[in-house]
């Protein structure tokens, strides 16, 4: 069985390792996958040996919280976690303020036998109060033989307590200063914990605002004919629901009454609406365009298309490559290094000093060991990453970009391949007129078409009106009558003449001119929709409509190619349409007619070949690939499932923001490395000095203040070097001479294999 849980309290990749080790130690647990970015775990277990309650209990014993599966409740619990961290920080800050005041008084010459004991009380209250959760996390980490920043903090805090307790009896040890170390290092660690939670919660707030725009209820028709608004989760097979114009189909079902046209682009990738009549199947997540229909529910829960997508998302999340954050990679060696140097201090001043001078210096050895532990804790380290992310995340938010996961900043610097969805990502996701054929000397017939289609709610009709308005302006002609023939076109009477706009079969026009037939065939082969126009029975013009590129698509992809990225397209759309779009963008590698799980499989194949991959999409069918990718980037105009699956969300539909995402990611990662160098530089100087046994604790606290100040200055004082956004293109993309390669879904696995000529 599989168990997926939302987890609170994870702060680093060491947390993921601790959870995996603990759960895999339970008999019956087969696999454990942890997603730090999405704060989720997926557990595969044998129900004969282990239960869900057992898994939850172990997680709670480790110090983590299991959040409510309900999305909004989970966000509320995350907000509560931030509030708790804020209270801890406020309490620790007040205690640190009192401790600082007392230490300043001691430095100014005030002496009292009570002061060391007051400082001891402050140290214990800070260490066990607001810092108590750190102690528990450190103990759990040691239990699983993991050395992380929690362990490093506790070594410094215990060194401060130990030195202070010794100082109560031995004047050589400054008791007040040692106790002050415990207070200040604990406060700094609480501060870094609050900053880490803040980075995650700030993005979650914006994501929650996006997702709350999606309806969670549906109108159910009861047996007595009454209508009842109920949550989607309460539907059962056999229920009848009413889907009104503009609403999304909530479930998989069969149309039982009414006719409409449905936009299934977020499911299939096809941007053109599909006519649905009684007996036709509809898929949950598709958008009802212009008709009221009654749908019989045929599948709910895991049996629906959306349920299957969720399963594919879980599988993709489980097989997504793990990411060990930079700070954790450094800590892996740094913590063991600090412990080794502390032990070296004992060796130097006890057996070493005895061997050289004939006298062991035990007190100096203990003092040096404690000083090494105190100097070994880099107070600014915990804030090195969050501060860089807060700065870059703030700049990103100003540009309409939301970073959900700090890991995304790190991975972006290693990205080599960009995989794009087509519909709604590279294209507008709506039809536009791309070509016309006129049977008259001028295009005046567009004014009649505009009048006929003015009241149409159909996407093709709105596209025709936009095109007509841009070419002939707003006309004074008005339709006296207007009738829609679903699946065919419209019939209107304008100035006493009948104007018909619709498909060739609907208008029953007979075209015997070879040049016109060639024009029609060329557009149909490219996947375009051809619409004819007749006035009083006479054919006056033809319109070709298709989903068109975004204004900034060509310039954006050209700039990405110049920066060395390899670009591929993964789409569920038809091959002719994919070929046309790919050629106009200069994309050489295209996979067409892919199902959601096949998109994820293609990403996974590239990862297995050693590539870091970004996936950019917006639809339900992109969600598994967004999850599988090293960094998933969703367009904010997309579906809630896509947004939930992504690591980065671009608000709106501006594709040029992708360049800014990549630049911000690289800048934030560079700033993180700089912050870490600054954080460790003071330790690199202080630890060797502490080894001598002459370093006073007050200098350790001075180093804390200086390192934190340096990191703050680097994070916020220096401007970010992010270039201006991409402008609309003025010309064709480079590299158009090379032939395109387009594959059907049966060739998906083959096309994902790397070769020398056309690398993905």
Q: Which residues are catalytic?
A: 421
CA distances from 664 to 74, 183, 399, 488 (A): 28, 36, 11, 49
CA distances from 300 to 235, 247, 587 (A): 7, 18, 39
Say how far apart CA 324 and CA 14 lie, in whole Å: 8
DSSP string, 592-627: -S--HHHHHHHHHHHHHTT--EEEEE-SGGGHHHHH
Say how far apart CA 83 and CA 218 lie, in whole Å: 35
Are 587 and 557 within 8 A, CB to CB? yes
At residue 227, the 3 state secondary structure works out as strand
- Long-range contacts for 751-759 (Cβ within 8 Å, ≥24 apart)? 751/589, 751/591, 751/602, 752/591, 752/601, 752/602, 752/605, 752/606, 753/605, 753/609, 754/606, 754/609, 758/588, 758/589, 759/566
Tell how far CA 412 is from the center of its chain. 12
CA distances from 171 to 165, 220, 375 (A): 11, 80, 21
Tokens coding 3: 């168990």
Are 21 and 141 within 8 A, CB to CB? no
Say how far apart CA 648 and CA 55 lie, in whole Å: 30
What DSSP state is assigned to residue 351?
I
At residue 473, the 3 state secondary structure works out as coil
Task: Name which of 33, 8, 11 is nearest 405 in CA terms.
Answer: 11
Are 438 and 634 within 8 A, CB to CB? no
Burial of 124 (0-12, 13-18, 19+ CB in 10 A): middle
Say how far apart CA 349 and CA 363 lie, in whole Å: 9
Tokens coding 414: 């290693």
DSSP string, 417-429: EEEE-STTTTEEE
């Amino acid at each position: 069985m599989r168990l997926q849980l939302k987890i609170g309290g994870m702060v680093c990749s060491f947390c993921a390792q601790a959870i995996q080790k603990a759960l895999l130690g339970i008999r019956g647990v087969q696999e454990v996958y942890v997603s730090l970015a999405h704060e989720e775990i997926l557990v595969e277990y044998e129900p004969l040996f282990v239960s869900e309650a057992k898994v939850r209990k172990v997680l709670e014993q480790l110090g983590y919280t299991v959040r409510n599966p309900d999305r909004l409740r989970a966000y509320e619990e995350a907000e509560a976690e931030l509030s708790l961290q804020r209270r801890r920080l406020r309490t620790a800050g007040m205690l640190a303020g009192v401790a600082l005041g007392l230490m300043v008084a001691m430095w100014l010459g005030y002496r009292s036998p009570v002061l060391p004991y007051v400082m001891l009380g402050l140290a214990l209250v800070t260490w066990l109060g607001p810092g108590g959760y750190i102690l528990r996390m450190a103990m759990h980490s040691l239990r699983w033989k993991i050395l992380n920043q929690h362990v490093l903090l506790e070594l410094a805090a215990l060194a401060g307590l130990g030195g202070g307790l010794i100082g109560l009896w031995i004047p050589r040890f400054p008791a007040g200063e040692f106790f002050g170390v415990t207070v200040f290092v604990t406060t700094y660690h609480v501060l870094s914990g609050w900053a880490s939670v803040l980075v995650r919660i700030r993005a979650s707030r914006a994501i929650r605002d996006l997702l709350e725009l999606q309806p969670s209820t549906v109108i159910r028709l009861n047996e007595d004919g009454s209508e009842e608004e109920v949550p989607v989760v309460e539907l059962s097979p056999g229920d009848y629901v009413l889907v009104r114009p503009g609403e999304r189909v909530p479930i998989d079902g069969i149309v039982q009454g009414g006719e409409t046209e449905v936009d299934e682009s977020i499911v299939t990738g096809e941007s053109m609406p599909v006519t649905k009549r009684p007996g036709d199947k509809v898929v949950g997540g598709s958008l009802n365009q212009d008709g009221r229909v009654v749908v019989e529910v045929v599948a709910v829960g895991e049996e629906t298309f959306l349920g299957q997508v969720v399963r594919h998302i879980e599988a993709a999340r489980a097989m997504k490559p793990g990411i060990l954050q930079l700070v954790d990679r450094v800590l892996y060696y740094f913590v063991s290094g600090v412990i080794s140097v502390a032990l070296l201090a004992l060796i130097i001043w006890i057996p070493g000093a005895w061997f050289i001078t004939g006298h062991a210096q035990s007190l100096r050895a203990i003092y040096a060991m404690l000083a090494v532990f105190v100097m070994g804790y880099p107070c600014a380290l915990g804030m090195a990453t969050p501060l860089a992310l807060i700065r870059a995340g703030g700049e990103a938010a100003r540009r309409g970009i939301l970073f959900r996961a700090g890991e995304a900043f790190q991975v972006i610097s290693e990205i080599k391949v960009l995989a794009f969805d087509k519909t709604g990502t590279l294209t507008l996701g709506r039809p536009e007129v791309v070509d016309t054929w006129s049977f008259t000397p001028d295009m005046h017939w567009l004014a009649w078409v505009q009048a006929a289609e003015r009241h149409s709610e159909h996407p093709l009709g709105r596209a025709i009106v936009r095109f007509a308005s841009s070419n002939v302006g707003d006309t004074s002609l008005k339709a006296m009558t207007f009738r829609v023939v679903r699946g065919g076109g419209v019939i209107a009477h304008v100035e006493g003449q009948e104007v018909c706009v619709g498909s060739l079969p609907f208008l029953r026009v007979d075209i015997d001119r070879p040049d016109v037939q060639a024009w029609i065939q060329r557009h149909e082969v490219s996947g375009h929709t051809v619409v004819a126009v007749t006035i009083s029975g006479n054919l006056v013009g033809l319109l070709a409509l298709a989903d068109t590129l975004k204004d900034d698509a060509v310039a954006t992809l050209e700039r990405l190619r110049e920066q060395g990225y390899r670009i591929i397209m993964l789409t569920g759309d038809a091959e002719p349409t994919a070929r046309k779009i790919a050629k106009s963008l200069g994309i050489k590698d295209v996979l067409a007619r892919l199902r959601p799980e096949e998109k994820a499989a293609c990403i996974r194949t590239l990862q297995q070949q050693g590539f870091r991959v970004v996936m950019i999409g917006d639809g339900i069918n992109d969600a598994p690939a967004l999850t599988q990718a090293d960094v998933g980037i969703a367009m904010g105009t997309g579906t809630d499932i896509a947004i939930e699956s992504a690591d980065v969300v671009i608000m709106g539909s501006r594709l040029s923001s992708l360049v800014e995402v990549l630049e911000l990611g690289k800048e934030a990662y560079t700033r993180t490395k700089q912050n870490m160098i600054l954080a460790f530089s003071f330790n690199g100087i202080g630890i060797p000095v502490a080894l001598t046994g002459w370093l006073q604790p007050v200098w350790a606290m001075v180093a804390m203040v200086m390192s934190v100040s340096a990191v703050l200055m680097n994070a916020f004082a220096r401007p970010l070097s992010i270039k201006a956004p991409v402008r609309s293109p003025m010309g064709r993309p480079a590299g158009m001479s090379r032939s395109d390669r387009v594959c059907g879904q049966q060739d998906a696995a083959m096309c994902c294999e790397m070769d020398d000529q056309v690398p993905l």
